[in-house]
Amino acid sequence: GSDGPAERVRVDQVGYLPSAPKRAVVAVETDRSTIEAERFAVRECGPGDVVRSGALSDPVDDPDAAETVRRADFSTLSEPGEYRVAVGRGVTDDGDLQAVTAESVPFRVGTDAYDGVLADAVRLYTLKRSNTAIDDPVTGLDVPAGHTQDARAAMYFGDEFRDDGERLDVSGGWYDAGDYGKYVPPAAVTVGQLLLAYEQYPSAFEAGQCDLPVEASGVEGSVTDGEDAFELPDLLVEAKFELEWLERMQREDGALYHKVAAREWPAIDEAPTDDDRERFVYGLSTFGTAQYAAAMAMAARVYAERAPEFAERALEHARGAHAYLESNPDPEFRFDEGQDDGSGPYRKDTDREERFWATAELLKTTGDTRYADYLEVRFADLFDAEARAPVWDDTLSLGQWAYLTADAADDARADRLESAFVDYADDLVAAIEADGYRCALDTEDYHWASTKLALSKGSLLLLANAIDSDARYVAGALDQLHYALGRTPTGYSYVTGQGTHPPRNPHDRLVEGTGTDLPGMVVGGANRNGDDETVAEYIAETDAPPAKCYVDATESYSANEWAIDYTAPIVFLLGHARTMGDA
């Protein structure tokens, strides 16, 4: 709260790539106080030599932060090292400042600047595996398999609870977030985004790069096909683990159940093994069924070479889910009274964007024209829709991307979609350049999981860049990474373990229940709607502007919780960054 980070010079607290633009943001005037700053100097940590200096930009108003800011541009600095940015006035003979009024935390410049963030983000999924014993030498997380009751979950039928004796094995998969629920929509969307990251940046992801503690948990990290053993990149090992859980959530008729959880939330300090509540399989949804079909159709491509049997199975699953959608043309979200008592809703009552995504991925994977026909007959209008950042309840742009990259696409349709991505990127870049912090969020975007939304917007800039290469798109995407890693109005980095001021009290049962800090969690971040008491009180007390509605408090599930789908877009951005680092 009020004793948050004090530095008025905000930087990406992890660092910058040598070849990328580098900017610091100085809050010269806030709703509380003003500092004098005309010039900046970038100083090497340790010896303190000034390596770059210059005038700050003209002042820019940032209404989301209720600040006036100036920027320091030191993009030409490419020598690897550790630095700070100081601001103030006057200039000495060696280019230093005569008077320093504020300084940033230290940060690095280097081609490997983000390797640790990427490894932490990916291996976090492993640490969050349900029903799995983890003994992790890196974080010290040491937990026996929890929720073993998932192997025989009961079906939930609402208030008039009647046990029909049916039991389902829904073991596996990752815990969704700081809770122990497992939900189909965020799972499928997360896997979809991770597989897209792999398809776009295959050279960024390797076997062994994240030191996954999979052997310790007894799960195989490589796939054996006949005589040959292929090493899977860590990212694909992890995505496959989630896909294998999703398989268990599919019914015989192709539809997907909605989620697995208990009827009551576990306390915040319950470790996985403490939570022995009975677990249920809840609901069914066509939007989740469609997202599953999309992710499985992608898996059929991505694993085709290295895990061909799995890839074939994935395609069958995708086709089966799609067949269900074809014979059930109306959207359905089956809801039983009481099903949200111990878990999140992830509710969506429409499914057009998801059907579009599923069908486009199947078209891309199979080239089967029946999928093109289905799109033309039912969703022709969505070819003309604007691109929008993918999130769990809107995956249209993932579908548009799949379509425009499909060999079997109609050329005119694909061209139109390419323009939609480029138009989106041009507008977004203009908004980023006008924003004090170069953040992609509009005022109303500072809602639950705003950090994820900024990153997701950044990922669309990178897709636009793949269509029509433009340095501004890449810079704007990296700006969202810089935001997540601490160049924020609050001075916090919104990723645990990264930078000088990361969240130290994330809302997380695995962390609280085991007393282990887990790095690599992207937290929700600023949430102007104050959807939990703790952040709501903070907002009321401080009259915080949208971009400062954040507290680093365990209780704040609407500002300080991680979820699987929050990490997916940062992995995408880091994938791109890694290919830049290589160059």
Q: Which of 344, 388, 419, 580 binds ligand 9MR (CB under 6 A)?
A: 344
The answer to the question of residue 176 lying near ligand 9MR (CB under 6 A) is yes
Show contacts with ligand 9MR in window 345-404 (CB under 6 A).
Answer: 345-346
**How many Å apart are CA 471 and CA 180, to the nearest integer?**
41
Closest C-alpha to 487, from 539, 536, 448, 525: 525
User: In this complex, which beta carbon is closest to ligand 9MR, that of residue 11 or of residue 127?
Assistant: 127
Q: Among 196, 311, 449, 574, which residue interacts with ligand 9MR (rule: CB under 6 A)? A: 449
Contact region for ligand 9MR (CB under 6 A) — 75-83, 103-111, 291-299, 557-565? 557-565
Decide: is 557 part of the binding site for ligand 9MR (CB under 6 A): yes
Burial of 215 (0-12, 13-18, 19+ CB in 10 A): exposed
Q: How far is the C-alpha of 370 from the C-alpha of 362, rounded, in Å?
A: 10
Measured from the CB atom, the residue of 53 and 343 that comes closer to ligand 9MR is 343
What is d(CA 456, CA 526) in angstroms, rounded to the nearest whole number?
15
Residue type, 565: D
Minimum CB separation of residue 531 from ligand 9MR in Å reads: 7
Q: Considering the rule CB under 6 A, would residue 181 count as an interface residue with ligand 9MR?
A: yes
Taking residue 488's Cβ as centre, other Cβ atoms within 10 Å add up to 28
Minimum CB separation of residue 463 from ligand 9MR in Å reads 22
Stretch that binds ligand 9MR, among 161-169, 344-352, 491-499, 574-582 (CB under 6 A): 344-352
| Token representation of residue 183 | 């939900």
User: Which one of 74-82, 175-183, 207-215, 574-582 is the stretch in contact with ligand 9MR (CB under 6 A)?
Assistant: 175-183
CA distance 376 to 137: 52
Query: CB of 480 within 8 A of CB of 576?
Result: no
x/- contact string, 561-580, with ligand 9MR (CB under 6 A)? Answer: x-x-----------------
Nearer to ligand 9MR by Cβ, of 64 and 508: the residue is 508
Only one residue has tokens 């030409």, namely 76
Work out whether 266 is an interface residue with ligand 9MR (CB under 6 A): no
Q: Which residue is nearest to ligand 9MR (CB)?
A: 344
Determine if 448 is a binding residue for ligand 9MR (CB under 6 A).
Answer: yes
Q: Is 90 left (phi over 0), alpha (psi -120 to 50) or beta?
A: left
Sign of CA dihedral 18, 235, 476, 25: negative
Q: Does residue 261 interact with ligand 9MR by CB under 6 A? A: no
**For ligand 9MR, which stretch binds (CB under 6 A), given 100-108, 150-158, 340-348, 377-385?**
340-348
Bridge partners, residue 26, by sequence: 9, 70
Least distance between ligand 9MR and beta carbon 507 (Å): 8
Q: Smaller CB distance to ligand 9MR: residue 115 or 340? A: 340
Measured in degrees and rounded to the nearest 5, phi and psi for residue 286 equal -80, -30
Site size with ligand 9MR, rule: CB under 6 A: 12
- 150 contacts ligand 9MR (rule: CB under 6 A): no
Using alpha carbons only, give the angle 417, 422, 425 rounded to the nearest 5 degrees. Answer: 130
The residue range among 63-71, 173-181, 188-196, 327-335 that interacts with ligand 9MR, by the rule CB under 6 A, is 173-181
The residues near 211 (Cβ < 8 Å, ≥ 6 apart) are: 119, 123, 138
Instruction: Give the rounded distance of the alpha carbon of 404 from its chain centre.
Output: 23
Structure tokens at 371: 């999928």
Q: Smallest distance, Å, CB 326 to ligand 9MR?
A: 29
Q: Does 444 bind ligand 9MR (CB under 6 A)?
A: no
Q: Which two tokens stand for residue 518?
A: 């887990």
Who contacts 556 (Cβ-Cβ below 8 Å, separation ≥6)? 507, 532, 534, 535
Q: Which stretch binds ligand 9MR (CB under 6 A): 33-41, 48-56, 177-185, 374-382?
A: 177-185
Q: Which of 7, 103, 179, 353 binds ligand 9MR (CB under 6 A)?
A: 179
DSSP-assigned beta bridge partners for residue 153: 168
**Least distance (Å) from ligand 9MR to the CB of residue 1?**
20
- In 3-state terms the chain splits into helix, strand, coil percentages (rounded to 5) of 40, 15, 45
Q: Does 532 bind ligand 9MR (CB under 6 A)?
A: no
CB 213 within 8 A of CB 119: no
In the complex, which residues of this chain contact ligand 9MR (CB under 6 A)? 176-177, 179, 181, 344-346, 448-449, 557, 561, 563
